Amino acid sequence: MNDPVLTVTGLCKRFPLGRKRFVNAVNHVDLAIAPGETLGMVGESGSGKSTLGRVILRLLEPTEGRILFDGQDITHLPKGRVRPLRRNMQMVFQDPWSALNPRMRIRDLIGEPVRLHMDMARSERDDRTELLARRVNLSTEFLNRTPSNLSGGQLQRVCIARAIATDPKLIVLDEPTSSLDLSVRAGILELLAEIREETKAAMLFISHDLGTVRMISDRIAVLYLGEIVEQGRAEALFETPAHPYTQALLSAHLPSDPAIPVARHVLEGEVPSPIALPAGCKFHTRCPVAIERCRRDVPAALTVPSGQQARCLRIPEGGNILERKEPA
């Protein structure tokens, strides 16, 4: 594998609430993404996925840990020195309507990153803007319109054109297809796969849609209460999930064939508050196979036979596998 574009070690993000209280949004995350690789990030709502993406790009300041981008430590780089790096690290947000200035023309929205980060004459910028529009399969006739005249799928293509305008090395995609219908979603995913193949950009694809993540990702990381509980190759993780939370999460994914019976692992209890994290394994309060040691000891990442790493104390003894409950 090539040297990673992004390496994150022990990354934490805590939001202060006053009186020595914090929201523990991201907790000791380790991950790496190589050129041309897509790492999918999944987890329940509120698990810290979007916050992690923003901290990685320094849109939010990290509390602890280390962020290496293209071999450079950017963890505590002053904002003035982070700005030149924006050309090489871009983000596509979940809601294209709120991500784009409604008063700007599409031509100016796509061309803005080029104007800010690339030394080009106006005619060159115009040519590149039209090239980018065609690259994301957006008709150039839309360039003189404003966002209100485009559909959601067309606006997301504008956001992708902006993200690739400066040939970045890293793109963070935060739920980029969640607001789109299935047919439009398929077109966006196909476009992203083409762009990755052409540019060799590293991608962090954040989503709660398990089917989409499996389709587009080389590797997958599973987040629970701001902590990666399992990560590995996409096929291995889907076929032989090792962490009990991953098993429960993936059991909620419906197969494409409605005739296939679905065996669900329904978790009981509520997700603990990120203000007061549980001791030991953070998942023990909802885990069907938790034992006393899980309530006390913090699990380390263990490599399982199928290749992925998972944080579960019961893996060595084989007690990590949930009992499948077939539908009635």
- 107/196 same-domain check: yes
Mean pLDDT, the chain, whole residue set: 92
The reply to whether 128 falls in a domain is yes
The reply to whether 239 falls in a domain is no
Residue 274: give the domain boundaries: 246-328
- 263/200 same-domain check: no
CB atoms within 10 A of CB 292: 9
The reply to whether 235 falls in a domain is no
> At residue 86, does pLDDT exceed 70?
yes
The reply to whether 238 falls in a domain is no
For residue range 56-79, list pLDDT tens digits in order.
999 999 999 999 999 999 999 999
- 154/257 same-domain check: no
**Prediction pTM value:** 0.92
The reply to whether 37 falls in a domain is yes
- 102/163 same-domain check: yes
The reply to whether 227 falls in a domain is no
- 198/250 same-domain check: no
User: Number of structural domains, the chain?
Assistant: 2
Instruction: Kindly report the CATH number assigned to the domain that includes residue 108.
Output: 3.40.50.300
pLDDT at site 2 = 76
For residue range 88-119, list pLDDT tens digits in order.
999 998 888 888 999 999 999 999 999 999 98
